Chain A
């Protein structure tokens, strides 16, 4: 971890107008929860649905995509990364710092809103803390994957969107096998283990889920470090 790199990264993510984008989805989640609660139309089924489909299934992947690719992708694109890479700082430190910033952002803009949404809904059976932890662990894995994607590809956002939308939602519905290779499902498995509610149905068992979350997070971080070590800056000519 390097505080200087963290400071620059936070300022580039939050110090500009595009930071407002980060507030849109969590804002909608809170608004929806508030409306449901005020109209008193929610039961355990609805609460689970909001937290699982909206918070875990949509807010988390999209926010992790914005945060994960945003902490490093644009910097590589416009060459600013040169100012960081021309310093005697190990590339591992650069990647870990970027990842830490992404995780903090995901916590602030996905996990905290999930907690707040659950509290507003007054979700029963420990759903609120269970989903908050689920979003948090899923967020760590997502952030690692998207940081790696940001280092690997100039089209990180597109690829990430395809993964989050097509793979996780579409394929998951048609091919049950694909569901097992999904960060959302692994996170859901963690959530399931923390709640007594009968409305949460994960596709994978807890040991598999935890193993996969750890493996994917580590593999993505290592990959990002290796690729950053031999980052080739496109020639201006």
Chain B
């Protein structure tokens, strides 16, 4: 069993703190690193991949430091976010070169196996420069898989992929995980992470905001107080009814309607129409005011 362990890891650039006191352990299976853009996901993955030194704390692969330790690459594969591979090589030449750099016993065989794993046999003899985005992502994946590593790190693997390519890559990652590998991928899209990751680590503004399986993260995200903007025939009467009912923690009368802070998302959305009917008020508009992922994340951090 191979694990990546981060202990109290921080990374700053000058005065800017990109990652702040993160402690986590990534074990076998698929782990999703979820967070909005600029949260520090890439910085974390670069530290796990040995391309960035932690400013403080330790990043280890099974008790071995990763920074300045090229030996770890026999057990670790990294799929960088950037698209550029060696465009002038064919897919097969590229993967074969990677196999040789790993000093594998049978580089040709390893290359063929990795290419088959990502189902790129058809296009393997074309130059990488002619590949589509999804094909490039798959050949990059093959380059990280060629030495059959126990740990695979993927930085925003689904960026710019169309839905079909996305599904194919998800299948591939699931298969890799079923073979007992430790896989970490980063994404800013909750739905992607939910569908793929058995375990989710949430990073917001450089901090480790939450950790758990997708049900726990979902619950954290939906059980929080929600803000709604409500417009109705008689805002004052509706406000009074909401306050009297107790399903909201705050109601504010604004020129654009009511700003309501609901205590419980599920209960409030179920109750509001009844309250309005009982109070004889017609509802015109109910809009969640903070549904964006950013606000969900910021709630998790503030908690």
The distance from the CB of A83 to the nearest CB of chain B, in whole angstroms, is 6
Out of B18, B41, B51, B88, name the residue touching A233 (CB < 8 Å). Answer: B51
Task: Judge whether B101 is part of the interface by a CB distance below 8 angstroms.
Answer: yes
Contact B52 A79 (CB under 8 A): no
Once A12-B86, A89-B70, A237-B40 are accepted as A-B contacts, the answer to whether A4 and B97 lie under 8 Å apart by CB is: yes
Known A-B contacts A229-B68, A233-B46, A237-B41; A80 and B86 likewise in contact (beta carbons under 8 Å) = yes
Beta-carbon nearest neighbor of B80 in chain A = A82
Q: Tell me if A235 is interfacial: C-beta within 8 Å of chain B.
A: yes
Interface check A40, CB cutoff 8 A: no
Contact between chains at A86 and B73 (CB < 8 Å): yes
Task: Type the 1/0 row for A82-99, where 1 means its CB is closer than 8 Å to any CB of B.
Answer: 111111111100000000
Residue among B40, B77, B86, B102 with the most chain A CB within 10 A? B86
Which B residues touch A88, using CB under 8 A?
70-71, 73-74, 102-103
A15 engages B88 (CB within 8 Å) = yes
Which residues of chain B from 17 to 44 have a CB within 8 Å of any chain A CB? Answer: 18, 37-43
A79 lies within 8 A of B88 (CB): no
Rounded to whole angstroms, the CA-CA distance of A161 and B102 in the bound complex is 37
By secondary structure, the B interface counts as loop
Tell me how far the C-beta of A230 lies from the nearest C-beta in chain B, rounded to whole angstroms: 6
In B111-168, the 8 Å CB interface with A consists of 143-144, 155-156
| Interchain CA distance A15-B40 in the complex, whole Å | 38
Residues of B within 8 Å of A, CB-based: how many?
Answer: 40
- Taking CB as reference atom, which chain A residue is nearest B140? A83
> Is B3 on the interface with A (CB-CB < 8 A)?
no
Residues of B within 8 A of A12 (CB): 86, 88
Q: How far is the CA of A229 from the CA of B70 in the complex (A)?
A: 9
A87 and B70: CB pair below 8 A? Answer: yes
A79 and B42 contact, CB distance less than 8 A: no
Residues in B whose Cβ lies below 8 Å from that of A236: 42, 81-82, 155-156
Q: Using Cβ atoms and an 8 Å threshold, which residues of chain B touch A16?
A: 88
Residues on B with beta carbons closer than 8 Å to the beta carbon of A233: 46, 51-52, 80
1/0 per residue, CB under 8 A from B, across A217-236: the answer is 00000000000011111011
**Chain A residues, CB < 8 A from B222:** none
B155-A89 in contact (CB<8A): no
Residues in chain A near residue B143, CB distance under 8 A = 83
Is residue A7 contacting chain B, with contact meaning CB distance below 8 A? yes
A233 to B80, CA, bound (A): 11
Q: Is A8 an interface residue (CB 8 A)?
A: yes
The distance in angstroms between the C-alpha atoms of A90 and B101, with both chains bound, is: 11
Known contacts A78-B82, A233-B52; A7/B97 CB under 8 A: yes
Closest A residue by C-beta to B41: A237
In the assembled complex, which residues on chain B have CB atoms less than 8 Å from the CB atom of A4?
97, 100-101
**Can you list 9 A-B contacts (CB < 8 A)?**
A78-B84, A82-B78, A83-B98, A87-B70, A87-B73, A88-B103, A235-B46, A236-B155, A237-B38
